[in-house]
């Protein structure tokens, strides 16, 4: 049975759906109801689940990691993500997105080049990402460095990226499936937004 656990930390609700030490979904939201909705949307259909008031030490570790990612900290996840029920293409996109490190972003097009499919298809996968923010969909943006979309709202996406800013300058490339995943510093996105704001003011 899948267990659902949510916890309010400083006004943000973090949630995890898990069975044993396998993570089926993670989420964060600004109300417990939205957090639970996020978890329910990420777990397999027709699988029994229960909501817990107190959780295992494992669930608490996952929640602590979610808070660290939300705060912009550079952390690595070694949790086992349950992806067997997801489509083959979704799994491919998730694997590519997991490679985007703190301080960098990638375009939908670049992720599509590495994973296959189109930028629009990548956008659909990121919009239904069951492992936010462990799978960093907030680091996937439009090719013109605008934010694109985000289930948690663009202001939330922007704030997380601001916290992840490390002052990096050079672009990077990572080899994925004989393709190149192009990464650019978060500053590219932040500078683009500043210019657009200045232009429109």
Query: Per the residue annotation, which of 137, 140, 183, 186 is the catalytic one?
Result: 137
Residue 137 a catalytic site member: yes
User: How far is it, in rounded angstroms, from Cα 156 to Cα 152?
Assistant: 6
Name the token pair of 8: 């309010």
Alpha helices in 75-138 (DSSP H): 88-97, 108-115, 119-127
User: How far is it, in rounded angstroms, from Cα 122 to Cα 74?
Assistant: 24
User: Hunting for tokens 């490339």 — which residue is that?
Assistant: 173
Cβ atoms < 10 Å from Cβ of 10: 7
Residue count of the chain: 201
Q: Looking at the annotation, which residues are catalytic?
A: 137
């Amino acid at each position: 049975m899948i267990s659902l656990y949510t916890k309010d930390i400083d006004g943000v609700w973090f949630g995890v759906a898990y069975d044993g030490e396998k993570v089926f979904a993670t989420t964060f939201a600004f109300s417990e109801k939205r957090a639970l909705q996020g978890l329910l949307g990420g777990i397999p259909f027709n699988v029994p689940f229960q909501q817990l008031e107190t959780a295992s030490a494992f669930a608490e570790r996952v929640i602590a990691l979610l808070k660290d990612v939300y705060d912009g900290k550079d952390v690595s996840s070694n949790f086992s993500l349950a992806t067997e029920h997801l489509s083959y293409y979704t799994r491919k996109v998730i694997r590519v997105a997991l490679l985007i490190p703190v301080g960098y972003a990638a375009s939908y097009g670049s992720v599509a080049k590495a994973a296959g499919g189109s930028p629009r298809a990548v956008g659909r996968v990121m919009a239904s990402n069951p492992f936010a923010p462990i799978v960093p969909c907030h680091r996937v943006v439009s090719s013109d460095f605008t934010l694109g979309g985000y289930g948690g709202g663009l202001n939330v996406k922007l704030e997380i990226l601001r916290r992840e800013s490390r002052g990096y300058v050079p672009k990077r490339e990572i080899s994925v499936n004989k393709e190149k995943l192009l990464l650019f510093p978060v500053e590219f996105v932040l500078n683009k937004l500043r210019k657009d704001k200045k232009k429109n003011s």
